[in-house]
Every structure is written in structure tokens, then in C-alpha cells.
Amino acid sequence: MNCIAAISTPLNTGGVAMIRISGDDALEVAKRVFSPKYPCNSVDTMEGYTAAYGFIEDEGEKLDDGILLVYKAPHSYTGENTAEITCHGGVYIAKRILQACIKAGASLASPGEFTKRALLNGKLSLTEAESVIDIINAGSEQMLKSARAQTDGALYRRIEGLCEKLLSVGAEISVWIDYPDESEDEDKISCDSWRERIEEISLDMESLLSSYDTGVIMREGITVAIAGTPNAGKSTLMNLLSGTEKSIVTDIEGTTRDIVEQSVSLGDIRLNLSDLAGIRKTEDRVEKIGVEKSISRLDTSQLILAMFDGSRALSDEDKALIEMLSGKNVIPVINKTDLDITIEKDYIKNHLGDYVEISAKNITGVEELKEAVITHCKIKKLSPESGFLANERQRECAIRAYEHIRAALYALSEGMTADVAGLEAEAALQCLYELSGKSASEEVIDSIFQRFCVGK
């Protein structure tokens, strides 16, 4: 492959910068721009994975001093000969060295071209390449964990497993098409066995598709709103869950006027909590804005914790809130169990479902509340190591594969000729190959790498 070069470190943000050169002639280009200080370190004789200190030059003019690191094909990120020159971190000097590399025979790398070459050289799969961008963009521990799980190739292995199963059934169907069974009984036995196995693949596909939600939850967490009339104890609960004093707790009604947000971890899951302003009718202009915001947040939250002060009977405002919440994903929370509970529990249960009783003040019932959150969000234990769909492209391929698998099953159950099922199984296989990158088109690959930065 022709030789490409780019600055691989972010510009202007560090003490050092690194220029990466990759391709058949990478070491030749490196030799033209880098002179080792000590003669024993001639670029020609350097082994892979070795470094040398020396001078970086542009046609004989010394630009900087730095380190050259050499990798020899196939033992490099791209799978090609690669040189990495580390210099002082200024933007100007890094660009000058890059120009020197271009003069010495390299061409400018396009976005993600190093990773694209790694893909083309079989160093990583398409799904692993996609996770590289997720690692770069990861802005939280959760996002990093999710991207890391993908770089380990878990999804790729999961898809490979599905492809093998499909290939084996598909091959049997093809043999049958060429040499149909002699008797009707044998025909039926074959057909039943194919159907059983495709059914199993279909179940695997369903679980793979539901893993997309796992990925979203891992990366982004769940949005949870804490709603309730003033003084129910929303801010106290928020502070309790987040371990900080972000929400103001007072016994003066209407203290929380704006939405207070906080991310907290619940085991592996991140809850993006918002403590909503007490929802009630008010004439106070500022409080009114808070209440309106809270109401619209109820619609966009994935889960609502509806809090009630258990030491009081339900007020009209509580009842209005209950009405507003009906049909939403709600966990009713009866607070202040350290006091005498006089609230109408049955009314709450009948309108909003099973409630959890807590004392936010004395920290009791919190474990039960966490359990209820997990059950309500239908979150199974997240196991990223078993592979999950990480983006919309992957999900779209998986949906198409699943539709073909269902069509194959339909063909077999409805007594159509086996070749229809065979064609559908083959089409499903192609979608899975597209997902893993085995047969992704140039267009798909290019669109993925456009999201990368130059130098990666």
C-alpha cells in the first residue's frame, strides 16, 4: 500500500506530538526525515518495536529532536510497516514535520485511514473498528466500558456463532435441493430439524436485538424523574441517592424551583436523575416556570419515581399528579415511614401499581427502591462481555437478518418448498456478514471512517 502520514495526537494540547507514517515505504520515508543520534541506531537496521533518539529534518534542515519508533509488518496497528515520530508538541513544529514526511514520499492520510488499513489487513473486524471511535469519544466510565467490551471482539464472535449455525442449516437445505429425500417421511424429518434450528437462531437474534438497549443503557444510562407535590421528600431522596447535597432540603413548600440533575450509579447502570419542582398550582411566576418544566420532563423520562408524604392524607394536588402519571412508567414511593403512615395506600396502588415504602430521612427501604428501579426498567444484569449491538448501523443489519430468518421459518412452517427457506437463510447470512464487515460495501466502510479523526 502507498505510504500515508498524519499527526496522530491532538493539536496544541500537549507537551509532545506524534506523527504516524504507515505503508510499504514507511521506513524509507522515516529514514529521509529522521537521523538517529547514535550510528548504531541506523533506521535500516532497527528491529520492530524498537525506538531511537535523533534529529528530525526537512531535506537536511534540522527541525527538532525526538524519538522514532519502528513497527514492522504485520506487527503494527495497521498491519503495515509503520514509523511513529514523537516531537515537541507545538502545532507549527508538528505540521512542519508532517510536511517533511510528505516531501519525503508519504501522502496525507484521510480520516480514520490507519484504522481502515487495519481493517483491510485483518487486524480488527468492522465492529471492533467502530468501537475505536467510541473509545475516543467516550466521555464517562460507562461509555468507556461499553466501547472496551466491543474492542475485545465480543460482538464479532457472537455474530460468527450465528453465521456458523445459519451456514450449517443452509448447507443442508442446499444439499436437499440438489438431492431431495426419497420419502415423504424423511422430507418431514429434515424440515422439522431445519425449523428447530432456525427457531433457535431466531431466538438468538431476538436476544442480540434486545442487546441494543443494553448498549444504550450502558452508554447513556436511564433518565429517571423524581416527581411529587412539595415537601414529599424528593430533594432528600435525590441527595440520598447521589450522596451529595445538590438539592435544597427545607420544610418550606416550593423550595425546588428548577430541575436539579445528577447522575448516580446503580451497580453497572447510570441513573440520570432529575429532581422536579414540586408539581402544584401556583401563582408565583418563577415557581410556575419550574412546574411547567417539570411536567414536560415527565413525558421524556424513562422512569418516574412518584413521591408521596406518607404521614398525610392524599391532597387534591397529589390526586391530580396521580392522574397525570397514569399510563407512564411509574414507581410510587411512599416516604416518611418513620412517622405514622396515614396516606391512602390502596388508592395509590390502584392507580399507579405496587408502591415502595421508604424513609429518606432514616435511609430505610432504599435497597427495595433500587430493586424496583431495576425491575421496572426491565434491565437484566448487563453483561457487555457477551457482545451487544453498539450503533444504529449494526442494529439495522441485525433487523434485516432477523426478518429474513422469520421469513425462512414461515416458509418451512407453511409447507413452501425448501429452496424459499434456503434463499431466506442465505439473505440473512449476507446481512450478518454486512454487520460484521465480512462483506460490507466500500460505501458502508467509508461512511464509518468518515466519523474518525485524521491520524487515527
Where along the sequence are the contacts to ligand GDP (CB under 6 A)?
228, 230-236, 249-251, 255-256, 278, 335-336, 338-339, 359-361
Minimum CB separation of residue 258 from ligand GDP in Å reads: 12
Minimal distance in Å, beta carbon 287 to ligand GDP?
12
Cβ closer to ligand GDP: 136 or 339?
A: 339
Element (H, E) at 424: helix 418-436
Q: Which residues pair with 71 in a beta bridge?
A: 82
Report the run of H or E that residue 236 belongs to, with start and end.
helix 234-242
Cβ proximity to ligand GDP, 46 vs 321, nearer residue: 321
**Considering the complex, what minimum distance in angstroms separates the CB of residue 254 from ligand GDP?**
8
Q: How far is the CB of 360 from ligand GDP (least distance, A)?
A: 4
Comparing CB distances to ligand GDP, the nearer of 234 and 297 is 234
| Shortest spacing between CB 334 and ligand GDP, in angstroms | 10
Do the beta carbons of residue 264 and residue 242 sit within 8 Å? yes
Buried b (16+ CB within 10 A) or exposed e, 278-314: bbbebeeeebeebbeebeebbeebbbbbbbbbbebeb
Computed from CA positions of residues 371, 375, 381, 387, in that sequence, does the dihedral angle turn out positive or negative? negative
Contact 449, 113 (CB under 8 A): yes
Q: Which residues contact 109 (CB under 8 A, 6 or more apart)?
A: 4, 5, 6, 20, 22, 454, 455
Closer residue to ligand GDP, CB minimum distance, 290 or 437: 290
Please say which residue, 209 or 249, places its beta carbon nearer to ligand GDP. 249
Task: Please report how close the Cβ of residue 215 comes to ligand GDP at its closest, in angstroms.
Answer: 33
> Are the C-beta atoms of residues 26 and 72 closer than 8 Å to each other?
no
For residues 30 and 50, the answer to whether their CB atoms sit within 8 Å is no
Closer to ligand GDP at the Cβ: 307 or 401? 307
Q: Report the nearest approach of ligand GDP to the CB of residue 239 (Å).
A: 8
Residue 32 vs 234, nearer CB to ligand GDP: 234
- CA-CA distance, 234 to 250, in Å (whole number)? 11
